[in-house]
Structure formats: C-alpha cells, structure tokens
Amino acid sequence: MNRRVVYTRGGSPANVLTVIEEPEPAPGSGQVLIRTTAFPVHPGDLQAVEAYPEEATKPVPAGVEATGVVEAIGPGTRVAPGVTVGGRVTVFPQPGAWSQWIVADADALVAVPDELSDEVAAQMLVNPLTTVMLRREAQEHPAFGYDGLLVQTAAGSSVGRLLTGASLVHNLALVNVVRSDRGAAELRKRFPDVPVVATEHPGWADEVREAAGGRPVSVALDPIGGKLAESLLDLLTPGGKLVSYGQIGEEPISVHASTLLHKSLTLRGKNIGRWLSEASADRRASDVATAKLIALTLKDQFDVAATYGLDELGNAVEHAVRPGKIGTVLVRPW
C-alpha cells in the first residue's frame, strides 16, 4: 500500500491535510517509481493549501519536492545520467511528493551526489533554485551596477542563508535583515563578514544605511510584504528594484504613486512557480545544475529544524511556520 498526503478543500493545512492509503503505483513509459525517504514542508506548500479556492471533486495531492531511491524504471524510459535502479534521486516539480511512493516523470529527476545526506538531498532543488533565481534578479538589474548593494529580509531563513553564502562566493555586497537580535546573533556566527540588522530596533532602516557605507541600495529581496516592504522601498536608491518572492505577511504593500514616480522604482513578483512557467528548457537545466552545485558547496547551510513521521503531520505543519524556526522541517514517510 501507499500512504500519501492529500486535501479536498482549501483552508488551514493542519485542518484539511489528511493521509490516505491506496495501492502502490507502478511506472509507465517515461516514468520512474521512487521510494520516498524524506520530503520538506515548505511554507509555499502550505500557502498553496490555504489558497485552494474551492472544494475538490477528488483528493488533491500535496507537496512538490522529495528525495528517495529509484525502485523501478518504466518500459522504454530514458533517464538522465546517474539515475539508476537503487540510486538516490531528488524530484521536482512533483505534485504529490508527500507520499511513500512516487511515480515521477523521468525528466523531473536529479541524481543525488554521494556526498549529500538525505537531509540535504530533500532540500536540494526548491530552495537552491529560488536562490539562483533571486541572485539573477539582483545581478541583472541595471541599478545594481558596479557599486550597488543588495538587502534581503528574512535572512535567517533557509533561502536567506543560501543567498548569503552565494553572495559571498560571487562577491555581491549584501546587508541582511532579520526580525530579532537573537536571529541576528545566530546569523553573525555563520557569516561574520556580512552586516545584519534586526527590525526589532525602531531605527533599523538607518542601521541598514549605515551598514551600506554610502553604497546605493539597488535591490531588495523580500518574502514578507506589508509594512516591511514599504520600508524597503524607502531604502532603495532611484532606479532600484524590490523583488517580492513570498507572502508571509497578511497585510498588503501600500505605496504612494509619488514614490514610484520620483524614484522610478521597479516592483517585481517572483517565485518558484514563475520560474517553472517562464524559464526555457535550457535555462531550467542550467539552473538545476547550479542548484546542485549550491547544495554541494553550501551543504552546511541546509539545517533541519526537525524531522517528523507521517503520523505527526500536524506537528510538522505547525513547526514549518513557527516564528524563529531555523532550518527546514522534514518528514520521513516510513
């Protein structure tokens, strides 16, 4: 049998996600059967459940990313180099990844290097790909220039830590912004050479300007929104860009037209779903290769907040959105 996580209506994930049993699937042509060893609970996964617009006529499978072992390859299926029966793979995008068994399209599989643990492999694609996407958004913006500076909020998150590590590798000037002094202290231990500011201080925006040392704040990356995003718009230099890649905050971003007109700012929304729909096949292949390299280079930054079983799904969901959480929540389905 196969146990997998589904929902039949939108709402609070803790209330609408359920585990069902069904027959073990079999791969067809172009498909691969994977025995899942771990999957991550991304906040974006939960937002998709909350935003589901209506009751479903049949169960909707949850999750998009998982790691596991190849158990069988469908007849006539061509697989990527390194993908073999008995070998480890990570799969994304895979609707229904929160499952003991996954039947995935062969072109969604990425072989897992031997150097990576299952804990890192389970996070190998979504967060690193988001990091690649955001770094490109920053570097390709004309206002970034040779002396431009990047500011990111939620810098202690899984994506935030990876972006900091990638910025150091690529010599991008960066100021990190977190919620609390406690989070700032944690981040300084990891990245002592990167300035970090806590928004619990009323004058935090001035602290960012001081940390910038006169360099223009060209690009801001923010997964929160609301009043925090409004403050970032004030920090941006004329011609600067705010990239919103999440919706943690419930309040809208309020901006007066004069701010946009006088500073000629760009506001852009970007997330992994947009990457999937907009990136060419060549771009996606290149970005996946870069994501894999990030996992190998920065594997110490792939923290695990906690690991749960399928029977503890409610606890896993609650932990995944807990303030101050460090690392990604994983579920081992067996």
Q: What is the pLDDT of residues 256-277, one digit of tens each?
A: 888 878 899 999 999 999 999 9
Question: Using an 8 Å Cβ cutoff, are 2 and 48 in contact?
Answer: no
pTM score: 0.95
Q: For CATH 3.90.180.10, list the domain ranges present in the chain.
A: 1-122+301-330
**CATH 3.40.50.720 residue ranges in the chain?**
125-271
pLDDT of residue 260: 78
Q: What is the pLDDT of residue 311?
A: 96
pLDDT of residue 247: 83
- Fold category of 125-271 in CATH: Rossmann fold (3.40.50)
Domain over 1-122+301-330 is classified CATH 2.160.20.10: no
pLDDT at 54: 83
Residue 90: predicted pLDDT? 98
- List the chain residues with pLDDT less than 70: none
Would the CA dihedral through 304, 279, 254, 216 be positive or negative? positive
CB-CB contact of 62 with 18 (8 Å) = no
